[in-house]
Every structure is written in structure tokens, then in C-alpha cells.
Amino acid sequence: MMKAGRGILALTLGFGTFAPAMFAAAGSTVNPTVFVMTNAADRNEVVVYTRERDGGSSEANRFSTDGRGSGGTNDPLQSQGSLTLNSEHTLLFAVNAGSGTLASFRVRGKGELALVDKVPTGGSEPLAVATFKNRVYVLDGAGQGTVVGFSVDEAGRLHAITDASAFLSATSAGGSSISITPDGQFLVVTERLTNDIDTFRIFSDGTLGPINTIASPVPGVFSARFDPQGQLILSATGPAGAANASTISSFSVKSNGALTAVTESLPTFGNANCWNAVTPDGKFAYVSNAGSSTISAFSISKTGVLKPVGSTVVATQPEGTTNLDITVSGDGKYLYTLDSMVGSVSVFAINADGTLTSQGEISGLPKNVGFNGIAAL
């Protein structure tokens, strides 16, 4: 979690180019597509980068969200999930933190998006999105903070679910991530300022049960994601001011929404671990140590036990990169990091043992501005 600037910024985005060796080393037969959100205060956009199968020319497009971002400088949203794909990778959802709306896009071939809908979220600063089947839930960070539910049809049109809203535990709780169990039974929100974790039961009609607030057993809670087996993987920055104190933990979710620690406070050997990503097969979890410009990797057992991959840190980026949000491609072959300070997206091939091999970077993004959110097909 990096300190956020809140100044209004007009963002002009230059399209980037791929490094020549990008994607070739892993032998992929897919056409990788990466989405990045500008979060610009005047006109929020989603930028799409693709690479042709034959390794030829790259292309880049951008699509308006029909709303405004928050602007600012480095990591203004302080959240994970501001740009989110559904599980089928047919729909993409983007928050407009500056205009209090949620945009939905239909994902088409070769990096094309079609804006389908835009709806008010009921709060002034939507920060993150979670999806499950035909449901979408939005985390809003303004005031006390809220969670609001929508149904979504196959075309991507959004409809508010009656009475599907709930407050977080306190005013200015600092909601920073939202996630849904793989069975769709519970919704989990992390609160970075209170160091709490909220769970809500999701009923069959999409409404939410009462909030169940759990004091995080680890300091510096920031983001949490579920693995395919239903274990909650939690990133935490550690005690304030401590060096290389970031941790990763895993928890099981009980039938009443309570959390039980499986692996607690495993060190990432880095600073500012605020984001994590799990491979689709559930074998590995990666964390972004933004303050150290490193990535750490952990294997995940079927019961949620975490173990370091190798010496834990599997990639070191140039000093000052400030790798924010991270994501894994839908085929599990690539890891992408959003490098805020240097204006790029780093690309890594995921090896069979969980280690990473650099595939270069997508350059040309503006440096030290407020873009947030990354997703990949």
C-alpha cells in the first residue's frame, strides 16, 4: 500500500510496445491480452494490449468507461480488484471512483471491448469488484464504506439487487478488497485502516446477511483472494514502520463465516505486500512487494498450507518500479505487474515449479500517475 496523491490530473496515455522476446519463451499458443485502467480524473479508460500468436506486431486500444476516475499519483485507490473479469472472461467490470459508477464491458476477440452498461453504485468512491456467476458486488470506500450487489445478464447489463447492500464495520474503515468464496456462499472484505476482515453470508436471492467482523490476527491487512479450494489468501504489510515485515497467510472459512488460520504470517521478505494473485489451478500464490520492487511466490496445498517457492523472492524488478496490482492470465502461464512509478507492465512466464522467468515489459504508460487496476485473459 503506497501513499496516495489526490490531486486532479488530466491523463494523456501513450500506447506502449512489447519487448521483442515477450511471450515467446513460454511457448504459448494463446493470444495474451492485458487490461489496464487509467483511473484518470477527467476521463477514465481501459487500455488493452495484445500480442499476436506468431510473435508479430502488437496492437493497443483504449475504451472509455463513460465515467471519471479519482486521478491522483501513485496508488490513489489503495485497493485490489478495481478492474475485474468474470470467471468466463466474457465480461470486464471497471469502477469509476470519481463519478460513483460501475461500468461493464463485453469482451470480444483480439482485445476489443464493447461498453454495455454503466450504473451508480450508491456510493461516491467505488474501489473494487467481485463476481460470482450472474452476481456482481462492489466495494465503496467513501464514508463508512458499503458493499452493494447487482445481477448481471449475459450481455453485461447490470441491475441492482433489492436490499443487497451492507455497511462495513466503521466509518473510514479503509475497505481495500472484496472476494467471494468459490461456492458463492460468503463475501469477504478487508479493512486496511481498522485491520479487520468482514464476512457476509450471500443468500440465494443475492441479499447479504449481517456483517461478521473479525480482528485480523496479522498486522497490516490489505487484500485477500480465494484459491479454487476455498482458502482465503491474505496479503499484509506487517507492523507500521518495520522493514521487510510483509506477510502472507491462509485461512479456511467455516460454515458460519468464521475464519480459521491455516498458515499464519509467512514472511514475504519484502515491503508493502498489498496485492496477491492465485494461479487458476490453485497451485501457487504470488505477492507484490511494492516497496521492495520484488515478487514472492508460495505453493498452496489442497488444504491451504502455504510454503515458499525456492528462497521466497522469485523476481526482482528495477529499484523504484513500485509494482502495484498483479494478475495471472486465465491459462495460468503469465504473471503481470502494474509498475506505477516507471510506467510499465512487467510480464513473467510462470514455470512448472512456480518460479518466474522475465518476458520483458509493456512500456509507454505515463510515470507516477494514478492508474490502478489490471486484469488479463
- Residue written as grid cell 477514465: 44
Q: At a CB cut-off of 8 Å and minimum separation 6, what does 57 contact?
A: none
Do residues 222 and 177 make contact, with C-beta atoms less than 8 angstroms apart? yes
pLDDT in tens, 218-247: 999 999 999 999 999 999 999 988 989 999
The answer to whether residues 165 and 189 touch, using CB atoms and an 8 Å cutoff, is: no
**Which CATH number fits the domain that encloses residue 117?**
2.130.10.10
Q: Is residue 124 part of a domain?
A: yes
177 Cα distance to chain centroid? 8
Q: Could you list the residue range(s) of the whole structural domain that residue 203 is in? A: 33-376
Has residue 24 been placed in a domain?
no
pLDDT score at 283: 98
359-369: pLDDT as tens digits: 988 887 889 89
User: For the chain, which residues score pLDDT lower than 50?
Assistant: 2-30, 54-57
What is the tally of structural domains in the chain? 1
C-alpha angle 345/278/142, rounded to 5°? 75
Grid cell 493497443 — which residue?
Answer: 60
Other Cβ atoms within 10 Å of 32 Cβ, number: 25
Tell me whether residue 123 is in a domain.
yes
DSSP string, 250-297: EEEE-TTS-EEEEEEEEE-SSS-EEEEEE-TTSSEEEEEETTTTEEEE
Query: Per the domain annotation, does 2 fall within a domain?
Result: no
* Residues 6 or more apart whose Cβ sits within 8 Å of residue 56: none
Q: Which residue in the block uniquely carries the three cell numbers 460501475?
A: 102
Domain membership flag for residue 15: no
Residue 108 C-alpha cell reads as 470480444
| 232-236 β-sheet, strand order | 221-226, 232-236, 247-253, 259-267
Q: Which segments of 168-195 are extended strands (E)?
A: 175-180, 186-191
Is 22 a domain residue? Answer: no
Residue 28 is assigned to a structural domain of this protein: no
Radius of gyration of the chain from its Cα atoms, rounded to whole angstroms: 19
Q: How many CA atoms lie within 13 A of 152 on its CB side?
A: 29
